[in-house]
Structure 1
Amino acid sequence: MSTSLHVWPRLVYEDLAPMVAYVNRFVQVGGKYTLDEPFEVGWGNIVLEVTPRGLRTPTLRKRDVTFTVHYRLLDGDVVIEADSGSRTVPLFDESLAAFYTSFCTAVSELGIRRPGSSLICEIPDAPTTFGDDRVERHWDRQAARLMWSALNLAAGGLEEWQAPFQGHRPRVGVMWGGFDLSATRHRARPTAPPAHAPAFVQNAQLEEYVAVGFTFGSPEAPDVSMYAYIWPQPDGLEGRSWAVDGAAWNPHAGLVLLPWAALRQTADPHQAIVAFGDAVYDAAVETAGWPSDLMGPRCDGWYMSRTPPSPVHAQQR
């Protein structure tokens, strides 16, 4: 039995789905503030950082106040921390509408205006706005801890995968709309997004990119898994090896999927995520003409602080 089974928790979509639905809705409230920030290619400006306690917005600097919104999954609350003070809003059995009211009251006491939009995004069949969602949701501390554990472990692997890439790479973080953990690598080659797609999707696809991430699944695809894709999707992805047993190309979804259950069976899931991401990037090089010379050395900062650069470094993977 892999020792990783004791560290990487067993995740079952049906068990986590109610809390995923809860958190997905509630993080959109603070997440809306990120839309005020300058747009970064691939929506790199909006992602929520995975912290030691939960999920947090970037530092948001306004004319009159600087603040962050921290969804502390392990504590069951939301901390708004600003130069003008701090406020804590508890998370418990309540509706999104009730939380939104409490949140707006808390931020107003700190001199922060309410979010610029109350629209619920990317959740099929959800009510239109935060105030319309009056379904009471149950806060499950155990499920919240499992969610944080999965996001934290996956983020560690994705951050190591991203580190040596020398092109544009936004921070690894949670996209609060679709609620997936995402790591993307971009190259400045314009693409033609589908004209029928929403504006935010078209703006996400302004240039070519490789994405590797983690998802809790959905009713249509109820599998907790790592995922990856190349935009635009090239030919030649069928029948490839993706470096980790259990990883496979799903042509219907347009994704390479590595089920969480298979990942946790590996001897070292952290390194398996890195190997999975490397295999996806290799596929982009071989099938879509991505440059192979954008990879720097994969080593720790102490090594680089003591070692003069050499041509060998550029070849290390």
Structure 2
Amino acid sequence: MKVPWPDIPYQPWRETCSALHLYMQIAGKYRLARTPWVNHSWHATFYVDGRGFTTSIVPDGPGGIEIAFDLIEHAVVGAATDGRTARFALGPMSVATFQARFVEMVRKLGGVADFDGCPNEIPDPVPFEEDRAERPYDGDAVTRFFQASVAVDRVLKRFRTSFLGKVSPVHLFWGSFDLAVTRFSGRPAPLHPGGVPALPDDVTREAYSHEVSSAGFWPGGGPIDFPAFYSYAYPAPDGFADAHVLPEAAYFDTSLGEFLLPYDAVRLADDPEATLLAFLESSYRAAADLGGWDRKTLECAPGQPRRPRRL
């Protein structure tokens, strides 16, 4: 059975996408405030689940609280480990209204709804409780974005299996609103200059403490007005921008300093999974070869169901 790759043009749902991004920042900041730090901010992310995105269990309240965004029935759902549940509907509202409903839900679950109240990685951020403009909610577009995320998550996880070195989970960063996976060479990186909008430099520098090749998926927004895949290296080795990366639709964006591949080039391909894998693998190889990574030690054959890795 083929996994669907739905059409998700950014412009028709850009206002809804912006709202969903901010809503997930609020829930993500709750997780961030309650969870011990894990390298590269991996403790703060979301994961694709069967109906949308989940925080997994946050250490709070009676033992743990999970927050999930159900993007099929369009609700935020909370579950505590003592059996309590709570939910509220996603729909047209302001960011301030969402925050108030979210705080009320966490408290009903026995949690402590104490977290930073300002967005990250957004120019000119407005504190959540002061953002009272009414936001639209296009449920159909949100569900198609979730279905696209399922397809992308599947390929990123497959790509992840062929790396023996340190590699991140496949997870959604709510600051930049991208689904990502990151490979590490094992070597320290030069101190990052920082300067990410509305993000403390010490967070950025900790995230890029070691050499990486990172790839992922944006629904659109910020510097691009279309859904796209990306791949970059930090630090970028000499010649990286000129590397040959597949498929032909991929290109290096000099303003972003990374390779981009429009989502539609994958969606409309005869074999979307193979097309995306070609982009992931060729851009990684460019970073690893030009950066002098020890590929023989770091890599292995792609994982297969029910087959232990051969030594």
TM-score between the two structures when normalised by the length of structure 2: 0.91
2:296 aligned with 1:297: no
Q: In the alignment, residue 24 of structure 2 is paired with which amino acid?
A: V
Match of 1:27 among 24, 27, 33: 24
Alignment of 1:140-159 (within 5 A): 140-159=138-157
Secondary structure of the structure 2 residue equivalent to 1:57? strand
2:235 aligned with 1:259: no
Secondary structure of the structure 2 residue equivalent to 1:301? coil
1:2-60 Cα deviation digits (max 9, x unpaired): xx8x9322221211211210110001111113323232222222220011211110211
Following superposition, the deviation at residue 232 of structure 1 comes to: 0.5
CA 1:105–1:299: 2 relative to 1, 3 Å: closer
> Which runs of no fewer than 5 residues in structure 2 stay unpaired?
196-200
How far apart, in 2, do the equivalents of 1:231 and 1:242 lie?
Answer: 17
Structure-2 residue corresponding to 1:246:
249
Secondary structure of the structure 1 residue equivalent to 2:295? coil
How far apart, in 1, do the equivalents of 2:6 and 2:307 lie?
Answer: 32
Structure-2 residue corresponding to 1:111:
110
Following superposition, the deviation at residue 238 of structure 1 comes to: 3.6
2:132 aligned with 1:134: yes
Q: In the alignment, residue 244 of structure 2 is paired with which amino acid?
A: S
CA 1:309–1:191: 2 relative to 1, 3 Å: closer
How far apart, in 1, do the equivalents of 2:81 and 2:118 lie?
Answer: 28
Secondary structure of the structure 1 residue equivalent to 2:143? helix
Q: 76-85 vs 32-41, which deviates more?
A: 32-41
Secondary structure of the structure 2 residue equivalent to 1:148? helix
Following superposition, the deviation at residue 118 of structure 1 comes to: 1.4
> Which runs of no fewer than 5 residues in structure 1 stay unpaired?
311-317
Q: In the alignment, residue 55 of structure 2 is paired with which amino acid?
A: T
Match of 2:187 among 186, 189, 192: 189
Q: In the alignment, residue 242 of structure 1 is paired with which amino acid?
A: V
Q: 192-201 vs 155-164, which deviates more?
A: 192-201
Match of 2:80 among 66, 79, 82: 82
Secondary structure of the structure 2 residue equivalent to 1:170? coil
Structure-2 residue corresponding to 1:276:
279
Structure-2 residue corresponding to 1:309:
310
Q: In the alignment, residue 173 of structure 1 is paired with which amino acid?
A: H
User: RMSD between aligned alpha carbons?
Assistant: 2.0
Q: In the alignment, residue 276 of structure 2 is paired with which amino acid?
A: I
Following superposition, the deviation at residue 265 of structure 1 comes to: 2.5
Structure-1 residue corresponding to 2:96:
97
CA 1:167–1:196: 2 relative to 1, 3 Å: closer
Matched residue count: 303
Q: In the alignment, residue 301 of structure 2 is paired with which amino acid?
A: P
Structure-2 residue corresponding to 1:314:
none
CA 1:123–1:238: 2 relative to 1, 3 Å: closer
Structure-1 residue corresponding to 2:219:
216
Q: Is the CA contact (8 Å cut-off) linking 1:49 and 1:172 kept in structure 2?
A: yes
Q: In the alignment, residue 257 of structure 1 is paired with which amino acid?
A: L
CA 1:57–1:196: 2 relative to 1, 3 Å: closer
How far apart, in 2, do the equivalents of 1:62 and 1:21 lie?
Answer: 28
Q: 73-82 vs 265-274, which deviates more?
A: 265-274
Secondary structure of the structure 2 residue equivalent to 1:11? coil
Q: In the alignment, residue 29 of structure 1 is paired with which amino acid?
A: I
Identity of aligned residues (%): 26
Q: Is the CA contact (8 Å cut-off) linking 2:69 and 2:77 kept in structure 1?
A: yes
Following superposition, the deviation at residue 103 of structure 1 comes to: 1.4
CA 1:169–1:238: 2 relative to 1, 3 Å: closer
Following superposition, the deviation at residue 63 of structure 1 comes to: 6.8
Q: Is the CA contact (8 Å cut-off) linking 1:29 and 1:115 kept in structure 2?
A: no
1:211-245 Cα deviation digits (max 9, x unpaired): 01001222532121100001101111244321213
Following superposition, the deviation at residue 125 of structure 1 comes to: 2.9
Structure-1 residue corresponding to 2:198:
none
How far apart, in 1, do the equivalents of 2:88 and 2:160 lie?
Answer: 34
Match of 1:179 among 159, 177, 180: 177
Q: In the alignment, residue 262 of structure 2 is paired with which amino acid?
A: P
Structure-1 residue corresponding to 2:205:
202
